[in-house]
Structure 1
Amino acid sequence: MYAIVKSGGKQYRVRQGDELVVERLAGEVGEQVELPVSLRAEGDTLDLESRTARAEILEHLRGEKLKVYKYKPKKGYRRKRGHRQALTRIRVLEV
């Protein structure tokens, strides 16, 4: 059995016990959160009813550093900036 859950504007295919990294979720480590399920499949049957999946927050982390560089040719204008996305690792407890 698997389900498609939504988090942070993205959709993930998960099973019970899966760990995944999603956009930062509000909550402390060890807390349980509910994620909306858009589709649930068990064998050949699909369930489109609105349900929720429970997940546990394992840790908060930050993604790899991205370098953003912009410039204007022949003008001496150069800007270099970095960005690290805030992420959360979760474990799906129940679908």
Structure 2
Amino acid sequence: MKLAQVISDSAWYSFVLKLTYKAEWVGKTILKIGMFEPSSKTCNVCGYKLKELSLDIREWQCPDCKNTHDRDINAAINIKKIAVGTTV
């Protein structure tokens, strides 16, 4: 592993550790989701999952329910649904 990657991993670990400490300090819980969770390409309305969604596509329309999604907002809604246990 390259030194830059080791430093990056260490910095990320330190950030997560501090975030977890602060969350516990105020009585909150940190929820981690999988790195490969398809949060951007899952429709937050009907649950349809796109097979492919390249990173350069910022908005997409669900072929099932026809809702248009901003990929980041859609991902945030899906992650929130996972956190509160109301996945589609």
**When the two structures are superposed, what TM-score results if normalisation uses the length of structure 1?**
0.22
**Which has the larger share of strand?**
1
**Rg larger in 1 or in 2?**
1
Q: Which protein, 1 or 2, shows the higher relative CO under an 8 Å CA cutoff with sep ≥ 6?
A: 1
**When the two structures are superposed, what TM-score results if normalisation uses the length of structure 2?**
0.23
